[in-house]
Amino acid sequence: MTPADRTTLVKRIASDIGFDRVGITRAEPLPRADYVGAWLDAGHAGQMHYLERPERTDPRRLLDNARSIIALAANYHQPLPPVDAGAEPVGRVAMYAWGEDYHDVLKQKLRHLIDRMREAVNTPFEARPCVDTAPVIERELAAAAGLGWIGKNTLVLHQDLGSYFFLAEVVTTLDLVPDVPAVDHCGSCRRCLDACPTDAFPKPYTMDASRCISYLTIEHREAIPMPLRPRMGDWVFGCDVCQEVCPYNRDAPETTEPRFTAIPERPRPSLRRLLDPDDDHTQAVRRRGAARRAKPNMLRRNAAVALGNQHHADAADVLRKTATAAEPLAAEHAAWALDQLTV
């Protein structure tokens, strides 16, 4: 079996398993390693010090004798749920966290892919499955493998699939035929840059994560900087603004993976109930989902900011109760939100 034959076989198996796109790149140092280093040196990673691990820029460190990387995309795009204007105040959760935890879903798919490859390929090989918890820079690998180009909002974009898709990889010792990197189709468009509420893009193709709402609601474990709080709107976990305005997402197909579809209460969780530490609503949002990444006290912090930004006067009681609670992180932000109700 030639490398071309193996490549065709691997791509067919990946498609059968349910991956929406698959591409191949060489297991070699990232061509944009200097850009990654400069980005880290500029402090754009915020508190995400794990991004500094050296193996992120050289995937060969992940597996001895690695030769190829299979890059995969799994679509999670789905319709936005309707919002009842007269209902109680709710927050917003990024679409990728609406369903089951994608880490679990993708890892299962990757294990299945590797098992099927071992059955079909007549060459012994080693393989390591990777999702974003592994020390890889997925966007760089996806772009090198032709899954799409890295857009001005630093997400991988595909002309047909848009950007609402998860990435995963298999690093392998198999010799496979690499794909050609995709061409950048952003052109003069800057809708994502102009729409960002917190001005997280100092220039096109560069994100200052320390200003990004996704970072602030998920990775930032401390108090949210005061100037950024009014700009965070009603987001309590992640942010989709730069994707919502992207023209390539206008006609993006819907996911066919049922485990990614929205679980009730996740897309628009109740802010009052998130603030109540005795309410099981927080666990419903986090249970077996990507929102587990944010600790319960962080979700209460985020909910307090969202309530303050919505200026719901009838939320004063729950904010006052939170502001006097023993938990300092949520209490401090609830006190700030109370002040916003009088502005």
Whether residue 144 is contained in a domain is answered as: yes
Q: Which of 145, 172, 199 is the last residue of a domain?
A: 172
Mean pLDDT of the region 308-317: 87
Q: Give the pLDDT of residue 319.
A: 92
Going by C-alpha positions, the residue among 14, 214, 177, 249 that lies closest to residue 110 is 14
**Helix/strand/coil (H, E, C) string of 238-259?**
CCCHHHHCCHHHCCCCCCCCHH
Using a pLDDT cut of 70, give the percent of the chain over it.
Answer: 96
Whether residue 178 is contained in a domain is answered as: no
Residues, the chain, total? 343
Instruction: Using only the alpha carbons of the chain, give its radius of gyration.
Output: 21
Catalytic residue among 20, 58, 104, 132: 132
pLDDT above 90: residue 312: no
Using a pLDDT cut of 90, give the percent of the chain over it.
Answer: 75
Distances 328 to 321, 323, 331, 332 between C-alpha atoms, Å = 12, 8, 5, 6
Mean pLDDT of the region 67-73: 97
Q: Supply φ then ψ for residue 270, to 5 degrees.
A: -70, 125
- Kindly state the helix (H) or strand (E) to which residue 12 belongs, with its residue range: helix 3-17
If pLDDT is split at 50, 70 and 90, which confidence band does 55 have? low
CATH number at residue 24: 3.40.109
pLDDT above 70: residue 300: yes
Residues 102 and 166 in one domain: yes
Residues 117 and 255 in one domain: no
**Based on the structure, what is the number of domains in the chain?**
2
11's torsion region: left (phi>0), alpha (psi -120 to 50) or beta? alpha
pTM for this entry: 0.92
Mean pLDDT of the region 29-47: 75
Q: Give the pLDDT of residue 264.
A: 87
Q: Are 246 and 186 in contact (CB under 8 A)?
A: no
Q: Give the pLDDT of residue 31.
A: 75
pLDDT above 80: residue 40: no
Whether residue 198 is contained in a domain is answered as: yes
The larger pLDDT score, comparing residue 212 to residue 287, is at: 212
Residue-wise pLDDT for 74-123, tens only, equals 999 999 887 766 678 999 999 999 999 999 999 999 999 999 999 999 88
If pLDDT is split at 50, 70 and 90, which confidence band does 133 have? confident
Residues 148 and 227 in one domain: no
pLDDT above 90: residue 280: no
Spatial distance between the Cα atoms of 11 and 64, rounded to a whole number of angstroms: 23
Residues 266 and 303 in one domain: yes
Mean pLDDT, the chain, rounded, equals: 92
Residue-wise pLDDT for 193-241, tens only, equals 999 999 999 999 999 999 999 999 999 999 999 999 999 999 999 999 9
Residue-wise pLDDT for 57-69, tens only, equals 788 888 999 999 9
Residues 264 and 329 in one domain: yes
Q: Give the pLDDT of residue 311.
A: 85
If pLDDT is split at 50, 70 and 90, which confidence band does 343 have? low
Whether residue 282 is contained in a domain is answered as: yes
Torsion of CA 248, 214, 101, 15, to 10 degrees: 30
Residues 168 and 229 in one domain: no
Mean pLDDT of the region 15-29: 96
**Structural domain of 210:** 191-341
Active site annotation includes 132: yes
Residues 44 and 168 in one domain: yes
pLDDT above 70: residue 184: yes
Residues 130 and 216 in one domain: no
Whether residue 185 is contained in a domain is answered as: no
pLDDT above 70: residue 154: yes
Whether residue 89 is contained in a domain is answered as: no
